[in-house]
Amino acid sequence: MRIGIAGLGQMGSAMARRLLAQGHDLTVYNRSTGPAAEFAAMGATVASDLQTLAAKVEMVFTVVSDSADVEAVVLGKGGLLSGAHADSLIIDCSTIDPQVSLKVGNAVRQAGFRMIDAPIGGRPAQAEHGKLTFMVGALPEDLERARPVLEQLGSRVVFCGAPSMGITMKVVNNLLSQSIQLMDLEAMALGMKAGLKPEVMLEVLTSTAADNAPLRTRLPESVLNGKYAPGFSAQLAHKDQGLGHTLAARLGVPLFTLGQARQIYSIALSQGLGQGPSEIVAKVLEQLADVELRFTQPPRP
């Protein structure tokens, strides 16, 4: 299939490598030319602009940072809509305001073309192995057209409902997952300040009702080893939590438990930590609690 990707950040690049490995005719576009050069060397076509990208492919994934980017990429002058044709399907994988997603999707559909929102759960490494989760908001017939390709990229494709419901699900997911991670870090700081060893805490917490994914992944792999490898950034986490708070305010839903996490991320950004992975907020808690979140001995395999 002739497939395009607009946006070659960490996730877009990982998806591009997976699609090439699956044998698709891939065309890519990125605002800066550097990332695209890698894929030209791998056999992909590099589009000079978004209009050309849309005209060349049957299906185009957009993987960009925020609401304004999606509007510009799809609806802006020379954007994807200007190059759309009868077979065009736009699949937006970005995490943005659900209202903006609905607005952009409606504009595409009113112009006679097709668009679905399919934000992603997972990391770039999972994309390269076809293990992502897609949360899809779509007209059913549009999802069925996209499904074969989504299933090459992901092990789970969840139909969340009508257009914009996929991105709504992603906003809720990220608000919860990032808050859980921060609660894990606070609990770890409390226990270690009281004298508990982190390896003991992990053994207990991962075997009780307190168990959750960050306890098994980002804390032991990153924070407690002091190795903050590039990943989903604190800056993007802060943005996503803002989307969750905006959604809650719009709907009149209180966030008693989920409402405070963003403040810690705000402090992290003010300290210049925004480009680090989301778990880098541990450094803020270390300062506030005067405790170092590190293993005291290597964890048992």
Reported confidence tier of residue 298, pLDDT bands at 50, 70, 90: low
Question: To the nearest 10°, the Cα dihedral for 42, 48, 50, 56?
Answer: -60
Residue 33 has pLDDT above 90, yes or no: no
Say what the pLDDT of residue 301 is.
57
CATH 1.10.1040.10 in the chain: give the residue spans: 168-289
C-alpha distances in Å from residue 237, one per residue of 182, 207, 262: 11, 27, 8
Q: Are 94 and 123 in contact (CB under 8 A)?
A: no
Query: What DSSP designation does 228 have?
Result: -
Say what the pLDDT of residue 32 is.
87
Q: At the top level of CATH, which class does the domain 2-162 belong to?
A: alpha beta
Q: Which residue has the tokens 């759309």?
A: 84
pTM for the structure as a whole: 0.94
The helix or strand, by DSSP H or E, that contains position 135, with its residue range, turns out to be: strand 132-137
Q: Are 268 and 234 in contact (CB under 8 A)?
A: yes
CATH 3.40.50.720 in the chain: give the residue spans: 2-162
% of the chain at pLDDT higher than 90: 94
pLDDT tens string 99-115: 999 999 999 999 999 99
pLDDT tens string 200-238: 999 999 999 999 999 999 999 999 999 999 989 999 999
292 token code pair: 């170092």
**Any idea what the Cα angle at residue 201 is, between residues 126 and 123, rounded to 5°?**
10
Tell me if the domain spanning 168-289 has CATH number 1.10.1040.10.
yes
Hey, which residues are catalytic here? Answer: 170
Q: Which of 20, 22, 40 is nearest to 30 (CA)?
A: 40
Question: To the nearest 10°, the Cα dihedral for 163, 166, 169, 175?
Answer: -110
pLDDT tens string 155-200: 999 999 999 999 999 999 999 999 999 999 999 999 999 999 999 9
